[in-house]
Every structure is written in structure tokens, then in C-alpha cells.
Amino acid sequence: MSWMRIYAIARKEILQILRDRRSITLAFLLPITLIFLFGYAVTLDIREIPTGVLDFSHTTHSRELIRSFTNSGYFVVQDHVSNQRQLTELIGRGKVRVGIIIPPDFAEKLLKGSAPVQIITDGSDANTSQSVLAYTNLIISDYNLANAAAILGERVKLPINLQTRFWYNADLNSQNFLIPGLISLIMTILASLLTGLCVAREWERGTMELLISTPIKPFELALGKILPYYFIGMVDLFLAAYCGVAIFNVPFRGSLWLLGLLSTLFLASALSLGYFISVTAKSQQLAYQISMLTSFLPGFLISGFLFPISSMPIVIQYISFLVPARYFIEILRGLFLKGVGMDFLYLQALAMLIFAVVFSILATIKFKKKIG
């Protein structure tokens, strides 16, 4: 192996990257754009749900119940309507997501022991409807306790006193969950798409024949092509991590050197996959499409970035074991939120190392076939 030939290929690749504005934009502007886009625009926290109220009772008890909903921070009353037709129209137009209907005899039945209240949700948004159900049960439970205490004239004691604690993300802030996964997505995009085009570009420009005619070996060509993107990936990794910690206040409780080491393993696997795609496809357009199908889309959909893998069909769960981003997301969330060490992450590291070795061997074999 000649380090001079590797350096020459790497230098040539760096010059091509610097001369290609699209590559520069994809390499440095895209990570920042995605961080701010997902950090500010995408959230799993459902608050201030638009609500419509139909209060037939108009009593102190009904107004207290409505205040219980608005004071929770989860519901915002957009409109008070006088009949059910108006409420149905508001929900149908999407102006409100939740309707609260309080019957005329609410106060009387409440004093007797049990009073019905109807909650209508827009089922076209399943996630919001499930959240509404959970929030409503909590609010009604608190209201019942307060009302029972007022009626009995003493503090109500429950047999079980539930004390809940949330470890690693005490405020249940979705940004703390999304940002580490987003870093993995950014690394996947950069590694697979940029590297997936590097050799295909040589075929389209007609310079691959010149490279083949030189004494360079397949492994030297692969290393020279991959190294520039590795350094770009590491810069973007720490840039994205810094933005997550400094701007979005995502805690980082792990080790920086361990983050760098495990990120190197992930980049090795992702870059090897991108290089394998690049030597397989002689067209940049084809390489781009294959990269999207084999790396970006799986990394977005079945890696656990947004959706828990445990809730997916069993077949998809097994397929997710073939997605390197799955292991890197577990590593990032473990380092950022839990502060775990290598003793908890060695299996994920081993999986990424296996991916890197397999894809490197496949890419080398495929390129040898092209030489032959």
C-alpha cells in the first residue's frame, strides 16, 4: 500500500469537492439547515390543542372544569358555541381538534355523585387524539379529587400514592430525543450521498479509465476517495452536536472521545456502503437513487429516529438490524442523554464494525471486476 498514491487521490477528491458548489452546500449547509428545521419545526410535544366548548350548564362547576382544561397548558379554547352543529362544523373545518360538551344537568348530577362530560376529538389526527385521551383522563382525575375534597370537607386520601420520575429526560422534551437521532440522519445523508457519487462522477467524466491505467490498487483508491468525506463528516458531526447542546440545550453526559471513536465506526460503515454503491452504478443519478433507497430512507423510517422499532411489524424489526443508523442512534442517545460508556455500547460498535468490513470487501471485489 502506497500512502503517496492515497494522498494523491485524496487531494484530487478534495479539489473536486471545492470546485463543486453542490457538494460544498450539501456538506456544510445541509447539516445546519436540518438541525434548525427539525429543532424548531418538528416536535413530538403536543400542547395548546385548539378546543371548542359547548357548555349547556353555565354553572360555577362547569366553568371550573373548563378552567381545569385551559390551565393545564394542553388545551386552548378557540370558541364557545351554542349548539352541537356549530361544534361539528368547527371540527370538520379543522379549526378545533377537540370539543368539550357539558350537559345542562352537569352541576346537579355532580353533586349527586356522577356527571357525564363528552369529549369529541378529530380522529383523522391519531397522534393528537391519543394525547387528548391521556391529557383528558389526567385532568378529569385531578378535578374529581378536588371536587370530592370540597364535598367531603376534608383531604381525600388515596390507597396508592403514585410518584413518577422520568430519568434522562425529566421534562420529556422531544428535542432531547430528536436531535441525537438527527445527527445520525445527517451523517447518513453526507456519507451515503456524497460518497455514492464520487466514483460515478469519474465514470461520467471519463477519468476512470485513466485511474484504472495507473498502478493504484483498489484499496488505495477506496481509501483516497473516502478520507476527505470522513473528515467532512467528523466536522459536521461535532458542528451538529455543538448546535444541539448550545442552541437547543440538549444535554451531553457522555465522553467526547467515545463519541469520536464510535462516530468513526459509523462513518466507516456508511462511507463503505456509499463507495460500494458508487462503484456499482456508473451514473450519478442512479447512484443517488440507490443511496436514497438503501441508506437515507431506511435511516429515516426504520432506524428508530422518529418511530419506536418495538411498535413496528416483526418483519420490519428484523430488517432494521441491517440498517447501520439504528445502532448509531442508540449510541448517540446513550451518550447524550444517559452518559453510558463502552460497556453498554460495545454491541452497537461491533455491529457497525461488521458493516464497515463487509461493505469494504464488497466494494473492493466489485471494483476488481471492473478492472478485469
Are 55 and 130 members of one domain?
yes
Strand order in the sheet with 118-121: 75-80, 49-55, 98-102, 118-121
**Does the residue 201 lie in any domain?**
yes
Highest mean pLDDT (candidates 17-21, 187-191, 356-360)? 356-360
Indicate the pLDDT class of residue 150, thresholds 50, 70 and 90.
low
Q: Read off the CATH number of the domain in which 117 is found.
A: 3.40.1710.10
Indicate the pLDDT class of residue 369, thresholds 50, 70 and 90.
very low
Using alpha carbons only, give the angle 41, 46, 52 rounded to the nearest 5 degrees. 115
Report pLDDT digits (tens) over 9-34: 788 778 877 777 776 777 778 788 88
Are 343 and 258 members of one domain?
yes
- For helices 256-280 and 284-291, give the axis angle rounded to 10 degrees: 130
Are 21 and 77 members of one domain?
no
Are 320 and 342 members of one domain?
yes
Domain count, the chain: 2
Indicate the pLDDT class of residue 153, thresholds 50, 70 and 90.
low
Q: Which domain holds residue 356?
A: 3-42+173-371
What does pLDDT average to over the chain? 83
Are 69 and 120 members of one domain?
yes
Are 287 and 317 members of one domain?
yes
Share of the chain above pLDDT 70, in %: 90
Task: Return d(Cα 69, Cα 56) in angstroms, integer.
Answer: 17
Share of the chain above pLDDT 90, in %: 20
Res. 84: pLDDT tops 70 = yes
Task: For residue 306, give the C-alpha cell.
Answer: 422518529
Are 148 and 185 members of one domain?
no
Average pLDDT of the segment spanning 342-350 = 93
**Does the residue 100 lie in any domain?**
yes
pTM exceeds cut of 0.85: no
Report pLDDT digits (tens) over 225-258: 888 888 888 888 888 899 889 988 899 999 999 9
